[in-house]
Structure formats: structure tokens, C-alpha cells
Amino acid sequence: MNIQIAIEDLIDKNAKDFEISKLFKNYISEYKASLPELFESSQGKDFLVKHTKTLDKIITLMYKTVLRRMFGNYLPMRSSIPIAIIALGSYGREQLCVHSDIDLMIVYETCDGYKTDAIIEKLLYLAWDAGLKLGHRVHEIRDIEKAAAEDITIRTAFMEARLIIGSPFTWSASQNAFTNIRHTDPKGYILAKIEEAHERRKKYPSSMQPNIKESVGGLRDSQLLFWIAATIYGVTSQKELIGTVFTDEEYREYRIALELLFRVRSALHLVSNKQQDQLVMQYMPRIAKMLGFKDERKMVSRLLEAMWRIDNFSQIFIKKIIRPYLYNEHDIAAYRKQRIGSGLYLINDRLFSVYSAKNDNIVPLLEFLSKLEDKPWRFDPSLLGRFTYATVPYPLGKKGLTLLRKLFERQHSYSFLQLFFEAGILHQLIPAFRKVLHLPQFDGYHHYPVDLHSIECIKALENIAEPFIADLFTSLTLQERTLLKVITLLHDTGKGRKQDHSDVGAKLVVSFTKKLGFSQEEQALASLLVKHHILMTTVAYRENLNSEKTLYKFMSKIQTEKNLRLLYVLTYADVNGVGPDTWTSFSANLLRELYDASMEIAQQNERISDAAKRLAVEKRIKNRESFKALPRTVQKKVLSIESNLFFFKHSPDEIIRIANEARNVKRYHYLLNIEGDGLKIQIIRRVPLNLTYLLGKFAYLDVASMEVFTLFDDLKFFKIDFLHLPDADSLQHIEEIIDNAFDMSKKLTLEQPRIKPEEITIDCEHSKAYAQMNINTTNQRGLLAYIMHAFDELDINITAAKVHSTKTRVRDYFLIEKQNQMCDNVPKLISILTKGNN
């Protein structure tokens, strides 16, 4: 549609205003609908310029239409009408995004020959009726400077003014006013804009879901650089500063980063179909596809890198530009007295550098840092520039690594690590960070990308707020604190790979600690802690801390009390480094509970070793296809079986077979084996078993061994081996005895065995939940049945039993639940077992 011809046609027909505004509205709607197609062929700044130029044409046509309607065929020259239509803000910069407000300023001069107020009013109503989202100002020329003086935002907008259409004389008069504004108290304006930016950056810190416009490294930081440069130098483009403020190469990297922000923001507006500047997760997949990225993670990583570049560039060169405005030249002599290194100064407790120093080697700079007082430091952007453009040799070399270790040995290392990150050299000094630089973590938990999270963990480590954990950290030796700081920094550097990040990180930390001169033992410790750095939170938040199996399994991985202390401090730093308010009283209590409970059992090396052995068996079970074929609920139940001995006594295939049988048992199930040397009975029961009756009826066969294990879902597993075989024709009778053994009313008269008190050992401190009883006595027929009878009489429940008999001796082991006042009944139990044998 040729809109100009259509408008002329409506004017000739003396059409109503709403008909003309409708025509514009349809035209604008069609144009907006075409923007996604335009974006496919033209992205970045080019897309914004084309969009801006189109809006220029629309507003120009609107202005011409208003004049045509008002003056008819007696249209005067536009230069004689004292009105100028001016673009401001992002529209003035030709960076207007799709759904952003169109900032217009209409400047006029009062003239008796023209009804300027009527022209302006008709233009604004036409724009509004046509659906343009205007942010407008109307000023008489003489009021421009007054408006700028009243509001710093208005003054800033005037710096980006661009003529769209109107009188060149009015525009020239406006430019003169803008020039006067620029020269009015530039220092006060610059300081106010810097303070404004400081507050903005606190409100919108670095994030994995950044605000493209307002966040640290966003478009506002780039614009601040332009506003300051325009105030001081009167430039109309940052590019004009090449060769005087920064080099072409420095500007090129910054400009590439800025281009990506333009692309992402435009795509965000198109996808959300509104003025949306925060890149939230719901829009990321579509935007990544529009921009040609493999996935949203890669796109966000590139975006975070670009925002880092803009932040770095703008910080360094804004300070370079404004330094003469901040410091009086008469004070230079005084500043020279505050020199503390080659081109390095300490002024008002902040470190500065001259801008003339270029291409330093990083090693002397590290040496300078290592000699500073051990306290948190603040660094001026001039020093940031010095580190940004320093040369970092690869490999770093022995001296550089020694200096790095010295920085880790300090009580306060965080400010240096933050400096290295902001200077873009962290990954050069510590190669383990190469793969995780600007790497987002979309896990619903972490607030920061991996690199920033790692540095935040160091900040947390150096500022422990929990007194108990702080005491643990300070009680460590310098060597241990230094190692722990390195571990804390590198604990997540294994992310971004296909393999488990803890396993990869464990290898990376060994490599780096070796370079720093730590011993092999310390390297192994670093590897262990990184490998298990999420173990403590996983166990504390997800598992039953009252379960001894949980605690022993946990300690089997951590191994020693020292390792537990180190892991606890590491976990504190890791949780606090996630983001604000992640360390809560709830999480603190859980972790402390796990720490205290684990420390109680840390001395029991034998059981910890059993737990480690158990994990190895579990691993073999998990690798079996028959196990993988089980329902997931059954898999979990199998691995939750409390007894380690059950796993040691049976092969993986036997365990899976028993589990398969058990999950189908309604009341009880048993298997008989009458081949070989003696009878073997295996029972899985859900209902109570009268074990006293069963063993008493089979006493004539002599028990060789017995095992009792609690499985899951109230199921128990019994395996009883006898020394002798029954008669071949008695199989039916044996089955009847077993079936009758599930009748708890069955009673037998049992012969009192001969057991001496010294042959019984009962350890009520075996563990929190269980006591252990050992009997080492003469082998006697019916002995085991009588022991079971004693347990029944006192209502004692055995969880596991291991019975071994020879012709002359028995060595019986029982794991007993500490319930029904079991430990209080120890004298009574011994009395029953040894009756008449004292």
C-alpha cells in the first residue's frame, strides 16, 4: 500500500480525522507484523536503525499530513513554520527497540502568523489515535534550558537529540540551547550520573536472568559512557574516541559485545510482544533459536560474557575520561606522595593506577598485591584497566604460582579474586575456570553463573557468620585453610561437561593444587572434598538422619573427623555462595545435626569400613541388568536394607533374587534344600514366625548356622543351615513343622542349656538404635531355640543374627533393636540364659 497516495486521496475527499488515523493505524500494524521477518535478515544495530528510520518516515508523514490538512493547497515552506520534531533517548540514538516508548520532543517558537499550538495538538492526537506509544515533551525554545536544569533525566535526553523533521532554524536554536546545557556545571552532572548508575547497579546486579537495559554491563552502562563523553568532548558517537581514549582493538571487542545485547533485546521484545527487558527463562529457548544458538545455555553464556565486556570497558574508560574532573591539578604533588608502586597509588584507601602503563606482565602485579596489608581492598577502575590489559604468560610459571598461593594464604583473598574476574584474567591465572567462565546454572537453585558463584563462596568463607563454623575454620592450620580456600574456589569448575561435575572437578583441583606445591596427601584430600562437595547437603536435606545406615554410608565416603570438619566449612561456603538468603535456620540446623551425628560415629572405623564395603557391593548390584529391570520403588527398597552383613553374605544375584521373591510375599514363603550334608531352610515372612518352636522341633538336626535379616516392608529373611539331613521320607513332615511355626500359640518344653555369664557379652553402646549380643559357649542341642525363647519372653526383637556352630562350640552374634527397655533388661536376659549356671 502506498500510504502517501491513500492519504492524499482522503484529504481530497475531505475525510474525517478518524479515517486518516485509521489508515495510519492499519499501516503501522502491518509494519509491526513484518518485524519478525525483518529481524531474520537484519539483526543488531542494523535492525534498530532500520526500525528507527521507518518510524521517522511515519512521524514525518504524520507531520506533513497535519500541515496539509491545516493549510490545504496554500502549504507554506516547512522551514518557515517554527516547529522542530526531535527524537530523544534511544530513538535519538537510533537504538529504539520494538516495544519501547518513542521519545519525542516538539520545540516551537511563538509566531503570530502560525497556530503552532494547534499544529502540535493535531500531530499528537494523530499519533496517539494511530497507536504510536509516545513519550513526548513540548517546549518553547526559551524554556529548554530551564527544563534541563530541573531534571537530570531531561538533560540527559537532550544530549541524544536528533532532528526528524521541521524548521532548520528552530532546530539550530535548539542545538544552541543543548550546547549551553552541556557546558553548564559538567562536573556536577557527571557526578550525579555516576551516583545514579551506582544505585542502579546495586538494584540490578549481575544475574543469569539479566535486565538487558539496567543490569551491570547492560545498555545503560554503555549509554553512561556516551553521556559522559558527550558532556566532556562534545562527541556524537563513542567511535570518535578511538585513538584518544581507547584503541581500535579495545573498542572493537566492546562493540561486538554491544551488538549481541541489541540482538537479544530486540528478540526479547519480539518474542514477548511487549516492552520486556529482563531475559527470563520462559523466553530463552525461542530467542536462542532466533539468534542461531545451539541452545539457550550457550546464548546466555555469550550474553553474560558480553555484559562483562561492556561493564569492564565502561568502568575503565569512564574513569579515564572523568579523572581530570574529579581531581584538582594542584593536588598532584600530594598524590605523588601516596605512590606505593610503579604507577600505583593509594588514595583514600583505594588503589589507583596511571593509565599510561600498558602491557604489564602480570607477575610483578601479583607481587605487588601479595605485599599489601592483609585486609579487604577497593580497586579503582584505573587499576582494573591495568590488570585487564596485562600480559598473562602461559604457563604462568613457578614465581607466578608461588605468588598466587600467597594470595590464597591471606585471610582476605576475595577482593583479589573479584579483581581477576572483572579484569577477565581469572581463567588465565587458574585454567580450571576456562570451561565455566560465564556459564549459567539453570537448576532452580543457583542465583549466579559458575564463576561468580565460586567467588561468592570465597566471600562467604572469609565472612563466616555461624560462630561454631567460624571456630572450626580458624582452628585449622594455615596450610589447611589455604587448601580449603583453593578447594572452595574450584569446587564447581567441573561443570559444563557431560561427565559428573564433581568427578571432573576432583581431577581439576588435583592438577591445580599440585602446581601450587601441595603434597600428594593434600591433593588427595582436595580431590575427595570436591568429589563429595554436595554430599552433605544431599544427605542433610533428603535422607533420614536418624538412620545409622545413612550416617555410616556418609562417613564411609568422608572417612575421617578432619575431612568432616573441612567438608562442613566447605558446605557452609557453598550454600552461602548460591545467593542471598539461601543459608536459613532450617538448613543450618539440618547440616549441624548431620555434622554432630556423624562426628559421634567417626571413631568407629570398623563400621565405617563396612559402610564403604557396602557401597562397593551396591555398585555391583546397580550394574546388574536384572536389578535395572526391577521397578524403581523396589530398587530403592533393596538398597535401603539396613544390614551390611546381608550384602556381604550374599552375591549381587542372590540379593536380587531374594528381593524379587520378597516383593511378592503376602504372608510367608520358604524354600527347602535337602541335598548335600544338611537341611537348609530359607524363609521370607511378613507375618510373625514362632522361631522358638521351629528351632525346637529341628533341634535333633543341630543348627550349623543361622542368619536373620530385616529386609523391607516389614519382611524378614531367615536362612538356617543344619548339620544333619532328615529322613528322606520326612519332607512332608518338615513342611508341616514350618507351616505350624507361623502359629504363635504353639509351645515347646525346652531343656535349660548350660551357659556361663562370662560367655555372654552384651554391648548396649554398639550404636544409637542397636545393641549387640555375643555368645561363645559349648554347643548344645536346643541352645538356639532356648535363646530365641528368652528373647520372646522379654519381647526382644532381633534385626540380624549370625550363628556359627561346630561340633564343640557355638559363636552366636545377635543385633538387637534397642526398644522395650532392652538395655534395662540386660540383667534379666542374662539371668534367664544362665539360670542355674552361676
pLDDT value at residue 450? 96
d(CA 611, CA 644): 7
Mean pLDDT of the chain: 90
Q: Is residue 451 a part of any domain in this protein?
A: yes
Tell me the per-residue pLDDT of 27-83, one tens digit each, with 9 for 90 and over. Answer: 999 999 999 999 998 888 999 999 999 999 999 999 999 998 888 878 888 788 999
Dihedral pair phi/psi, residue 113, rounded to 5°: -80, -15
Q: How confident is the model at residue 334 (pLDDT cuts 50, 70, 90)?
A: low
- Average pLDDT of the segment spanning 449-458: 96
**Quick one: pLDDT band at residue 838, thresholds 50, 70, 90?**
low
Q: Do 318 and 370 sit in the same domain of this protein?
A: yes
The mean per-residue pLDDT over the stretch 217-234 comes to 95
> How far, in Å, are 95, 129, 134, 805, 815 from residue 91 at the CA level?
6, 20, 11, 94, 80
Q: What is the percent of the chain where pLDDT is above 70?
A: 97
C-alpha cell at 424: 577477565
pLDDT > 60? residue 520: yes
Lowest mean pLDDT among 316-320, 457-461, 832-836: 832-836
Single out the residue in 578, 603, 628 at which a domain terminates. 603
Number of Cβ within 10 Å of residue 553's Cβ equals: 22
- Do the Cβ atoms of 785 and 692 come closer than 8 Å? yes
Q: State how many domains the chain has.
A: 5
The CATH code of the domain that includes 719 is 3.40.1020
Residue 707 has pLDDT above 90, yes or no: no
- CA gap 269, 650 in Å, rounded: 63
Q: Where does the pLDDT of residue 413 fall: very low under 50, low under 70, confident under 90, or very high at 90 and above?
A: very high
CATH number of the domain bearing residue 530? 1.10.3210
pLDDT attached to residue 829:
87
Are residue 797 and residue 653 in the same domain, yes or no? no
The reply to whether 367 and 484 lie within a common domain is: no
Mean pLDDT computed over 557-574? 95
**C-alpha closest to that of 529 among 552, 506, 553:** 506
177 and 206 part of one domain: no
Amino acid at 34: S
* Structural domain contains residue 323: yes
With 70 as the cut, is the pLDDT of residue 253 above it?
yes
Contacts of 268 (CB under 8 A, 6+ apart): 212, 276, 277, 279, 283, 287
- Residues 388 and 536 both lie in one domain: no
End-to-end CA distance of the chain: 115
CATH of the domain at 44: 3.30.460.10
In a domain, 190, yes or no: no
Residue 685 DSSP label? E
Residue 796, in any domain of the structure = yes
Residue 197 within a domain: no
Q: Pick from 125, 151, 184: which residue ends a domain?
A: 184
Angle at 385 between CA 379 and CA 388, to 5 degrees: 105
> Is the domain of 539 the same as that of 486?
yes
**The three cell numbers locating residue 758:** 562370662
| Pair 172, 229 in one domain | no
pLDDT at 700 over 80: yes
3-state helix, strand, coil in the chain (%, to 5): 60, 10, 30
| pTM score, whole prediction | 0.78
**Residue 690 three-state SS:** coil
* Owning domain of residue 692: 668-833
CB 782 within 8 A of CB 696: yes
Using the 3D structure, point to which of 131, 155, 184 is the last residue of a domain. 184
Q: Is residue 195 part of a domain?
A: no
CB 703 within 8 A of CB 805: yes
Give strand ranges (E) for 526-679: 668-673
Sign of CA dihedral 286, 290, 295, 296: negative
- Range scoring the smallest mean pLDDT among 83-92, 399-408, 416-425, 780-789: 780-789
- Residue 350's φ and ψ, nearest 5 degrees, are -135, 140
Q: Helix, strand, or coil here: 634?
A: helix
Are 296 and 283 in contact by the 8 Å Cβ rule? The answer is: no
CA distance 276 to 270: 9
pLDDT at 333: 56
Q: Distances in Å between the alpha carbon of 364 and those of 212, 307, 342, 361, 423? A: 37, 29, 10, 6, 16
Confidence at residue 329, expressed as pLDDT on a 0 to 100 scale: 62
Confidence of residue 548 (pLDDT cuts 50, 70, 90): confident
Higher local confidence (pLDDT), 802 or 40: 40
Residues 254 and 222 in one domain: yes
Is the pLDDT score of 109 beyond 70?
Answer: yes
DSSP character string of 221-258: HHHHHHHHHHHHH--SSGGGGBTTTB-HHHHHHHHHHH
In this prediction, residue 710 carries a pLDDT of 87
- Cα torsion for 286, 291, 296, 297, to the nearest 10°? -170
Q: Report residue 767 as a C-alpha cell.
A: 550404636
DSSP 318-349: HHHHHHHHHS-GGGHHHHHTTEEETTEEEETT
Task: Mention every residue, 6+ apart, whose C-beta is less than 8 A from residue 482.
Answer: 405, 408, 409
Q: Is residue 194 part of a domain?
A: no
3-state secondary structure of 165: strand
Q: Are 783 and 803 in contact (CB under 8 A)?
A: no
791 and 706 together in one domain = yes
Nearest to 722 by CA among 669, 786, 782: 782
Predicted local distance difference test score (pLDDT) of residue 751: 81
The span from the CA of 587 to the CA of 131, in Å, is: 53
Predicted local confidence at residue 826, as pLDDT: 86
Residue 608 lies in a domain: no
CATH number for the domain spanning 322: value is 1.20.120.330
pLDDT tens-digit map of 482-496: 999 999 999 999 998
Cα torsion 221, 222, 224, 225: sign: positive
Q: Mapping DSSP to helix (H, G, I), strand (E, B) and coil, where does residue 434 land? A: helix
pLDDT of residue 73: 78
Q: Are residues 788 and 741 in the same domain?
A: yes
Q: Are residues 713 and 806 in the same domain?
A: yes
Backbone phi, then psi, for 792, in 5-degree steps?
Answer: -65, -40
Give per-residue pLDDT as tens, 345-374: 888 889 999 888 777 899 999 999 999 999
| Same domain as 146, residue 48 | yes
